[in-house]
Amino acid sequence: MRKPDEESFRAFAGKHAAGLRRCAYLFCGDWHLAEDLTQQALIKIYRAWAKVQKQDSLQNYSRRVLLNTWLDEKRRPWRRSELRYETVPDTPDVSADPEAAQDRSWAKDMTHRALLELPPRQRAALVLRYFDDLSVAEASAVLGCSEGTVKSQTARGLATLREVVENLTAGRPARRVVS
C-alpha cells in the first residue's frame, strides 16, 4: 500500500475503531468478541482500502463490513456449541447515588440481556437505528436491504424487545418506595 493510503487508513481506523467496537459489542454482547470482530473488519477494509476510500460513506461501508463479519462469525458451527451460564455483574459507580446507580446498572443490564434475545437481523436493525443513530436510509445501506425491510425489522425488533423485557422483569422484585 502506498504511504498516503496507509496514512489515510490509519486516520480512518483511529477515528472510527472505538465506534465500530461499540457497535460490534451491541451486535454480539461480548467485549472480547467485539474486539476480534472490529479487528477482522478493519483488516478487511485495509485490504480493499484503495477501492474503498473512493466511496461516499466510509462509515456505512465499515458498518456493513462489521455486520457481515459478525453474521459470518455467528454461522460458524463451533460458536453454536458454546454455552453461557452466567454473566459477570457490572460494578456500581460508588461516586453516584447507590440506588440511582443500581437502577442504571439494572436498566443497562436488562437492555443488554434483552438485545441478546433478539434474532440477528432485528438486533442489527435496532442497534444501527437507535444506538448508532442512523436514519432508515443509512441503516438500509449498511444492512444491504430496502428501507421497508429496515422499518419492518425495527418494528418487529421493538415488539420482540418489549416482550423479552416484560418476561425478564416479571421476575424482578418490586422496588420499595421510602417516604
* Domain ranges (residues) in the chain: 1-79, 97-173
Average pLDDT of the chain to the nearest whole number: 82
Q: Residue 90 — very low, low, confident or very high, per pLDDT cuts 50/70/90? A: low
As a whole number of Å, the end-to-end CA separation of the chain is: 67
For residue 23 the three cell numbers come to: 457497535
Best CA proximity match to 27, nearest among 12, 48, 41: 41
* Contact present, 67 and 120 (Cβ < 8 Å): no
Q: What is the CATH number of domain 1-79?
A: 1.10.1740
Degrees, nearest 5: CA angle 137-138-142: 120
Instruction: Note the pLDDT of residue 169.
Output: 81
- Stronger pLDDT, 123 or 55, i.e. the higher one: 123
Radius of gyration in angstroms for the set of CA atoms belonging to the chain, rounded to a whole number = 19
Instruction: Note the pLDDT of residue 175.
Output: 38
pLDDT of residue 67 exceeding 80, the answer is yes
What is the CATH topology of the domain spanning 97-173?
Arc Repressor Mutant, subunit A (1.10.10)
Residues in the chain: 179
The string of pLDDT tens digits covering residues 111-166 is 888 888 899 999 999 999 998 889 999 999 999 999 999 999 999 999 999 998 88
The alpha carbon of residue 156 and the mean position of all alpha carbons in its chain are separated, in whole angstroms, by: 17
Percent of the chain with pLDDT over 70: 79
Instruction: Note the pLDDT of residue 93.
Output: 53
Q: Residue 173 — very low, low, confident or very high, per pLDDT cuts 50/70/90? A: very low
pLDDT of residue 43 exceeding 80, the answer is yes
- Residue 40, H or E segment: helix 31-47
